[in-house]
C-alpha cells in the first residue's frame, strides 16, 4: 500500500471527493474561519500569526510543567545541528503572549484584541474528536483585568458559535481564583487525598504530587469514584475576596446581556496559566467529556515568560474539528462551494489557445475554467455539468471570425450571442442577477 498519513492527522479535501465527512471538508474549515473572522473583526480583533514551533521554554513555562500536554504530549522538533530545543505548538496562547512581549505590542491601544487560526499539535491517544494535529480558532485580549472584558470575551465566543449555526451549546463558567486561592485549595486537596493515595491511579498520584487540582480532571474511573466518595469541595468555595468580587461582576455583565451560562463550581482547566475566570463550551451531541472550546484569564503568563511587568490577558480557543462534529449533530448544512460561472471550450484544436485567452480575460470578473483540448459539444456540456458551471461558451471558427461568443445558460438552456468585447459586462450582469458567495467575496 502507498504511504499513509500519520495517525491522528486528517486531510482536508475538496468538495466532490469520495468519503468526504464534514470534518474533512476543506470548504467547511474555510466557512468556520471566515465566520469567526467576521464576528471577531467586527468587535475590533486583528489577526496575528505566530510560528508553528516555539522555543521549548515558551511551551514548558507557558502551558506549565504539571500539565498532560508538557508531561506526555509534546512533539519535539529535531533538525540538523539542533537537539530538540523547539516544540510544535500544542496551543496558541503562550506563543501569542511571547509575540506580544517580543514585538512591543504594548504600544498599541489596550485592550488589544488578537485572533488567529491554525494547526496545533498534541501527541494524544487518538479517538473521535481527539487528534494529534487539530485546528483551532483562537482569540486573545491583552492588557486589561476589567471584568467587562471577561464578559465580552465569553459573549463573543457565543456569537461565533451561533453564527456557525450551533444550537445545543452550553457555557460552563467558573473561577479558579488567584494564585493564593489556588494554593489554599491545593493544600486542602493534598490533605484530603493523601490518606487515600493507594486508591489513586498512577496518573492521579502524579497529579497529587504536582498539582492536586488536576486530580479532579483525571480520566481514571477509580479516581472519579474516590472524588465522589470524599465529597470534595469545589474551587469556587476557596475564592478570595478579590477573585470573588471579580467573578460576580463578570456574571452581572453576562446576566445583563442575557448570555446564558451554567455555573460549574469545579471547573479545572488543563493548562497551568489560568487565573480567575475560566470556562468551557460543551455540546450535547458531542459528549460531556469533550469541550468544544476552553478559555480563561491568564494574568500571570507574561511574567512566566520573563516579562518584568505583568500583562493581564484572557482568551479562548475552539477546535474546528470538534466544532464540525457538533455542527453535524445539529444538522448544520454548509453550502457546496460554487462551480465556475463560465466554462469555455473550443470545438477544434486550432481554437484551444483562443478559448484559453477568453477564459483568462473572463477571470477579471468571475471564476472561469476552460477545456485544455478540443471537444465535441455533447462532451463539453457533460464536463461543464460535472464542474457545476453556470454558463458554457463554445468556440468554433465562426465565433473566432465574427468576434462573438455563444453563451449557454446550463440551467435554462437559453443561448445568447455576446460580442467578445462585451463578455465582461455580460458576466457582471449575470453576477448581479444571482450573486454567489465566492464571486461576492
Ligand atoms: P484547550 O482547552 O487545551 O485550551 O483547547 C481548546 C480546544 O481545542 C478544546 O476545547 C478542543 O476543542 C480543541 N482541542 C484540544 N485538544 C484537541 C485534540 N487533541 N484534538 C482535537 N481538538 C482538540 C487551549 O488550547 C487554550 N490555549 C485556550 C485559551 C486561549 N485560553 C486562553 N486563551
How does pLDDT run along the chain (441 residues), one tens digit per residue? 899 999 999 999 998 899 888 999 999 999 999 999 999 999 999 999 999 999 999 999 999 988 889 989 999 998 877 777 999 999 999 999 999 999 999 999 999 999 999 999 999 999 989 999 999 999 999 999 999 999 999 999 999 999 999 988 999 999 999 999 999 999 999 999 999 999 999 989 999 998 899 898 887 888 989 999 999 999 999 999 999 999 999 999 999 999 999 999 888 888 889 999 999 999 987 765 679 999 999 999 999 999 999 999 999 999 999 999 999 999 999 988 789 999 999 999 999 999 999 999 999 999 999 999 999 999 999 999 999 999 999 999 999 999 999 999 999 999 999 999 999 999 999 998 876 544 433
* CA dist., res. 241 & res. 114, Å (int): 30
* CA dist., res. 154 & res. 280, Å (int): 10
Which residue bears the cell 469567526?
36
Instruction: Give the distance (Å) from ligand 1 centre to CA of residue 198.
Output: 31
- The tally of domains found in the chain comes to 2
Please tell me the chain's helix, strand, coil percentages from 3-state DSSP, rounded to the nearest 5.
45, 20, 35
The reply to whether 187 falls in a domain is: no
- Domain of 254 in residue numbering reads as 22-177+239-329
329, 354, 369: which is the final residue of a domain? Answer: 329
* Bridge partners for 275 per DSSP: 297
The reply to whether 2 falls in a domain is: no
Q: Give the predicted TM-score (pTM) of the model.
A: 0.92
The reply to whether 6 falls in a domain is: no
| CATH number (domain holding residue 357) | 3.40.50.800
CA 21, distance to chain mean position in Å, is 17
The reply to whether 73 falls in a domain is: yes
Q: Among 319, 323, 324, 326, which is best to mutate for testing ligand 1, by the most ligand atoms less than 8 A from CB? A: 319
329, 352, 382: which is the final residue of a domain? Answer: 329
Whether 322 and 349 share a structural domain: no
Residue of the CA atom closest to atom 12 of ligand 1: 319
Whether 347 and 319 share a structural domain: no
Whether 261 and 137 share a structural domain: yes
The reply to whether 14 falls in a domain is: no
Instruction: Give the distance (Å) from ligand 1 centre to CA of residue 297.
Output: 14
Residue of the CA atom closest to atom 10 of ligand 1: 293
Whether 407 and 303 share a structural domain: no
Whether 38 and 115 share a structural domain: yes
Instruction: Give the distance (Å) from ligand 1 centre to CA of residue 293.
Output: 6
The reply to whether 286 falls in a domain is: yes
Q: What is the SS3 assignment for 136? A: strand
CA dihedral sign, ordered 149, 151, 154, 155? negative
Amino acid at each position: 500500500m502507498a504511504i499513509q498519513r500519520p495517525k491522528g492527522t486528517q486531510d482536508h479535501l475538496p468538495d466532490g471527493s469520495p468519503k468526504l465527512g464534514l470534518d474533512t471538508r476543506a470548504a467547511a474549515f474555510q466557512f468556520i474561519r471566515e465566520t469567526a473572522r467576521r464576528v471577531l473583526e467586527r468587535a475590533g480583533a486583528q489577526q496575528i500569526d505566530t510560528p508553528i514551533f516555539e522555543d521549548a521554554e515558551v511551551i514548558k513555562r507557558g502551558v506549565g510543567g504539571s500539565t498532560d500536554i508538557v508531561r506526555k504530549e509534546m512533539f519535539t522538533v529535531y533538525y540538523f545541528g539542533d537537539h530538540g530545543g523547539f516544540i510544535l505548538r500544542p496551543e496558541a496562547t503562550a506563543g501569542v503572549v511571547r509575540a506580544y512581549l517580543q514585538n512591543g505590542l504594548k504600544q498599541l491601544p489596550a485592550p488589544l484584541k488578537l485572533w488567529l487560526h491554525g494547526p496545533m499539535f498534541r501527541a494524544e491517544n487518538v479517538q473521535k474528536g481527539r487528534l494529534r494535529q487539530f485546528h483551532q480558532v483562537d482569540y486573545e485580549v491583552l492588557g486589561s483585568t476589567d471584568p467587562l472584558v471577561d464578559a465580552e470575551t465569553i459573549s463573543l465566543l457565543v456569537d461565533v458559535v451561533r453564527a456557525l449555526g450551533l444550537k445545543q451549546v452550553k457555557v460552563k463558567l467558573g473561577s479558579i481564583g488567584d494564585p493564593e486561592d489556588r494554593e489554599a485549595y491545593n493544600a486542602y486537596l493534598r490533605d484530603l487525598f493523601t490518606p487515600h493515595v493507594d486508591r489513586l491511579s498512577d496518573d492521579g498520584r502524579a497529579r497529587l504530587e504536582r498539582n492536586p487540582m488536576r486530580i479532579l480532571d483525571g480520566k481514571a474511573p477509580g479516581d472519579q469514584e474516590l472524588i465522589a466518595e470524599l465529597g470534595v469541595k469545589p474551587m469556587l468555595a476557596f475564592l478570595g475576596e478579590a477573585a470573588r468580587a471579580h467573578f460576580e461582576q463578570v456574571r452581572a455583565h453576562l446576566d445583563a446581556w442575557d448570555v446564558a451560562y451554567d455555573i460549574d463550581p469545579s471547573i479545572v482547566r488543563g493548562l497551568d496559566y489560568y487565573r480567575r475566570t475560566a470556562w468551557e463550551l460543551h455540546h450535547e451531541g458531542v459528549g460531556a467529556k469533550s469541550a468544544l472550546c476552553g478559555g480563561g484569564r491568564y494574568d500571570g503568563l507574561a511574567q512566566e515568560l520573563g516579562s518584568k511587568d505583568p500583562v493581564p490577558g484572557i482568551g479562548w480557543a475552539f477546535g474546528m474539528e470538534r466544532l464540525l462534529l457538533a455542527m453535524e449533530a445539529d444538522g448544520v448544512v454548509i453550502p457546496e462551494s460554487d462551480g465556475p460561472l463560465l466554462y469555455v471550450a473550443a470545438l477544434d484544436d486550432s481554437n484551444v489557445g483562443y478559448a484559453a485567452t477568453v477564459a483568462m480575460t473572463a477571470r477579471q470578473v468571475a471564476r472561469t475554467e476552460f477545456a485544455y483540448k478540443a471537444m465535441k459539444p455533447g462532451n463539453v456540456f457533460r464536463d461543464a455539468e460535472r464542474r457545476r458551471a453556470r454558463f458554457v461558451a463554445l468556440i468554433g471558427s465562426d465565433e473566432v471570425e465574427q468576434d462573438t461568443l455563444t453563451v449557454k445558460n446550463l440551467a435554462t438552456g437559453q443561448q445568447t450571442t455576446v460580442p467578445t468585447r462585451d463578455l465582461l459586462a455580460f458576466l457582471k450582469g449575470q453576477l448581479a442577477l444571482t450573486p454567489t458567495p465566492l464571486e461576492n467575496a
